[in-house]
Amino acid sequence: METRGGILSGVAERMLAWVGFALLLVIGFAIYNIPAATKQAIWDGIWKTIFWLVIVAALPWSGRLFIKRVVEVGENWAGLAMIAAFVLVELLVGWFLLTSWPGSGWGWLALIAAVAVAGTYTYLVSEYLAEMAGG
């Protein structure tokens, strides 16, 4: 099947496909050579991260139970306290699952980025729930 770009485009597509296939083989071989303990540590990290993400995604929605009371207070500190409490719980769950401090600068950067994203998500969900509650 000839592409619109001509013969060079077809050759480039085939070359990229073979490069991609070679990269998959190299990655597969590298994963195959990883020691079993390292593979288990990677899977543990993946499952702990998924569990933390589920907690972070679900926790702010529990604010629906008491958001009306927070809106009735009518003060910014009440909403800030609610969001801070949610983020603190998310941090504690993450700390419990982490089991040790990050060992590198990239680890710390990833931790800070994850907490920032979780806090932003919590804020946005809280704002949405406050709007729905009439605040």
Q: Is the distance from CB of 82 to CB of 70 less than 8 angstroms?
A: yes
Q: Is the distance from CB of 126 to CB of 79 less than 8 angstroms?
A: yes
Q: Is the distance from CB of 10 to CB of 2 less than 8 angstroms?
A: yes
Could you write out the DSSP letters of every residue in 71-88? HHH--HHHHHHHHHHHHH
- Which portions of the chain are predicted below pLDDT 70? 1-5, 135
54-68 in b/e burial notation, b at 16+ Cβ within 10 A?
eebeebbeebeeebe
Q: Is the distance from CB of 51 to CB of 94 less than 8 angstroms?
A: no
- Global pTM reads 0.69
Closest CA to 60 of 92, 86, 95, 90: 86
